[in-house]
Amino acid sequence: MEPKDWLSFFVGMIVTALGLLPLLGKLGVGPGWFRMEFLPIALLAYLVAAFGFYLLINSIIEITNSNTIGWTSFFIAVALFAAGVLQVLAKFRVGPDWFSLKFINETAYFIIFIIEGIFLMIACFAMEM
- 102-129 pLDDT, tens digit each: 888 888 888 999 999 999 999 888 887 7
Q: Residue 119's pLDDT is what?
A: 92
CB of 129 closer than 8 Å to CB of 2: no
Nearest CA among 123, 126, 55, 62 for reference residue 84: 55
Whole-number average pLDDT of the chain: 86
CA distance 76 to 86: 15
CB of 77 closer than 8 Å to CB of 69: no
Q: Residue 79's pLDDT is what?
A: 93
Q: Average the pLDDT over 78-85 and give the result.
A: 92
CB of 23 closer than 8 Å to CB of 38: no
Q: Residue 40's pLDDT is what?
A: 75
Q: What is the pLDDT of residues 9-64, one digit of tens each?
A: 999 999 999 889 888 888 877 776 666 677 777 788 888 899 999 999 999 988 88
Q: What is the pLDDT of residues 61-74, one digit of tens each?
A: 888 887 788 899 99
